[in-house]
């Protein structure tokens, strides 16, 4: 059974640019959550999608957005990149999703974004 | 006060030792509890998942939840150098899944 796949694994962008990250969840999983991980802040919740609808959102500025497609694949977009956006971006998939009482959440390997 | 508190360590133990990792949480509404292991430059890997007070065992790993004191623990028996990683606790309920800061564990031969 394939796991959670995130692409690309590494990205280098310059300030002011925008970036799109992709996440393919485990087959059958309808919930995809996105997290930002930095040494100083740890794992911070960005947002969660379930059946193409954003159900939960963390405390991040509007530059961070996402969407989910009918096949449950999800994308995350960050516009007007800042140096502080450099982080490991992780997505996690689960069967039920946070709002309905999450079952186990499985993570991808992450996309390491460096903003220069 | 953070909703989930976890000592970041680092924690260094000899091979074969019993390791105890702990977290406290503040919200009594949190219903489920997970432990993840994260190796350097990798995504977190789910180790244990539970939604009730008490113990859950899986091989050398035991997860313990005490809802009355809002305390969760992970015990690793017969620790191995391959257990060297960062261990993250996670908990949540309706609409939330929150992670601790992670404890860095080093098991030396």
Q: How many CB atoms lie within 10 A of CB B21?
A: 22
Report d(CA A77, CA B100) in Å as an integer: 25
Distance CA(A42)–CA(B82), nearest Å, equals 22
B50 neighbors B32 (Cβ within 8 angstroms): yes
Peptide bond into B109 cis (omega under 30): no
Determine how many CB atoms are found less than 10 A away from the CB of residue A15. Answer: 11
Task: Name the CA radius of gyration of chain B, rounded.
Answer: 13
Q: How far is B82 from chain A (nearest CA, A)?
A: 19
Token couple for A77: 């977009």
Residue A110 contacts B where some CB pair is shorter than 8 Å? yes
Lookup: tokens for A102: 């999450």
| Residue B107: predicted pLDDT | 97
> Among the residues of B1-109, which ranges form H helices?
none
Q: Are B97 and A42 a contacting pair at CB < 8 A?
A: no
Q: In angstroms, rounded to a whole number, what is the distance separating the alpha carbons of residues A4 and A7? A: 10
**Confidence at residue A1, expressed as pLDDT on a 0 to 100 scale:** 60
pLDDT for res B44:
93
Q: What is the pLDDT along chain B (109 residues), one digit of tens a residue?
A: 788 999 888 999 999 999 999 999 998 888 889 999 999 988 999 899 888 788 999 999 999 999 999 999 999 999 999 999 999 999 876 556 789 999 999 999 9
Whether B95 and A110 lie within 8 Å, measured CB to CB: no
Report which secondary-structure segment, H or E, holds B17.
Answer: none
Q: What's the pLDDT score for residue A15?
A: 98
**Cβ-defined contact of B32 to A101 (cutoff 8 Å):** yes
Phi-psi category of residue A42: left, alpha or beta, with phi > 0 → left and psi -120 to 50 → alpha: left
| Average pLDDT, 10 consecutive residues per value, chain A (116 residues) | 90 98 94 91 90 90 97 97 97 74 80 97
Distance (Å) from the alpha carbon of A64 to chain B's nearest alpha carbon: 18
* Residue A5 touches chain B, beta carbons under 8 Å: no
> B11 with B20: CB under 8 angstroms?
no
CB atoms B95 and A105 under 8 Å: no
Contacts of B44 in chain A (CB under 8 A): 43, 90, 107
pLDDT value of position B53? 85
| Strand spans (E) along B1-84 | 4-6, 11-14, 19-25, 32-38, 45-50, 54-58, 61-66, 71-76
CB contacts of A96 in chain B (<8 Å) are none
Residues linked to residue B64 through DSSP beta bridges, in sequence order:
B55, B73
């Amino acid at each position: 059974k394939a796991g959670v796949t995130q692409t690309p694994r590494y990205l280098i962008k310059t300030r002011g640019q925008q970036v799109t990250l992709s996440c393919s969840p485990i087959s059958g999983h309808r919930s995809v959550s996105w997290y930002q991980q930095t040494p100083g802040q740890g794992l911070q919740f960005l947002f969660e999608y379930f059946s193409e609808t954003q159900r939960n959102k963390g405390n991040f500025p509007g530059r961070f957005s996402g969407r989910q497609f009918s096949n449950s694949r999800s994308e995350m977009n960050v516009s007007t990149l800042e140096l502080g956006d450099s982080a490991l971006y992780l997505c996690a998939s689960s069967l039920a999703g946070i709002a309905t009482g999450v079952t186990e959440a499985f993570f991808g390997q992450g996309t390491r974004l460096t903003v220069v | 006060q953070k909703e989930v508190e976890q000592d970041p360590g680092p924690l260094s133990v000899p091979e074969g030792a019993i390791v105890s990792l702990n977290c406290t949480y503040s919200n009594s509404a949190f219903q489920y509890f997970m432990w993840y292991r994260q190796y350097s430059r990798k995504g977190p890997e789910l180790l244990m998942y539970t939604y009730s007070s008490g113990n859950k065992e899986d091989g050398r790993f035991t997860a313990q939840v005490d809802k009355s004191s809002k305390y969760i623990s992970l015990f690793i028996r017969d620790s191995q150098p391959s257990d060297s990683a960062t261990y993250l606790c996670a908990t949540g309920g309706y609409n939330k899944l929150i992670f601790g800061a992670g404890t860095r564990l080093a098991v030396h031969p």
